[in-house]
Amino acid sequence: MKYILLMQFSAANADFPSIDTWTPEEIRAHIGFMREVNAKLAADGEFVQGEGLGGPQQARIVRAGENGAPVVTEGPFAETKEFLAGWWIVDCETPQRAVEIAAHISTAPGPGGRPLNMPIEVHPVMSAPSQEL
């Protein structure tokens, strides 16, 4: 079963400064941890895909306007207190294993090497409906 793990950042619940204030060594440790997670998941046959995402100032919200033309709302979003920071798709034997992976990812190091304990949402990835539908 495939699961998507969504790393959320919440300024309201974070007890650490934003990543743009971290030292280069802290950033390298954080990224190194993520690379190690991906390599271990790949070695275990559980890694499907994963990526970090740009911040909310780089995001765009798109809706269909008249005749389906895109209507784009651009950042920066000063009022944004929560945003999606990254994601993984994993292929696990059990939902419990997806939760274990999410808990480990939550321990990514931040300033001073302390675990960030960022919330990770775990969602099953739905399969296509049967041909009868």
Question: In the structure encoding, which two tokens stand for residue 114, read together?
Answer: 């302390």
Pairwise pLDDT comparison (75 vs 29), residue with the higher score = 29
User: Mean of the per-residue pLDDT values for the chain?
Assistant: 89
- Report the pLDDT value the prediction gives residue 48, as an integer from 0 to 100: 97
| Closest of 54, 39, 43, 34 to residue 105, by C-alpha | 34
CA distance 75 to 124: 30
What's the burial of 63, exposed, middle or buried (CB within 10 Å: 0-12/13-18/19+)? exposed
The residue-averaged pLDDT of 8-36 equals 87
Give the global pTM.
0.83
Question: In the structure encoding, which two tokens stand for residue 43, read together?
Answer: 């070695």
Pairwise pLDDT comparison (133 vs 41), residue with the higher score = 41
Q: Is the pLDDT of residue 75 over 80?
A: no
**Are 85 and 41 within 8 A, CB to CB?**
no
Q: Is the pLDDT of residue 64 over 60?
A: yes
Locate all alpha helices (DSSP H) within the chain, ordered by sequence.
24-43, 95-106
CA distance 91 to 105: 15
Three-class DSSP category at 89: strand
- Report the pLDDT value the prediction gives residue 133, as an integer from 0 to 100: 66
Q: Is the pLDDT of residue 76 over 70?
A: no
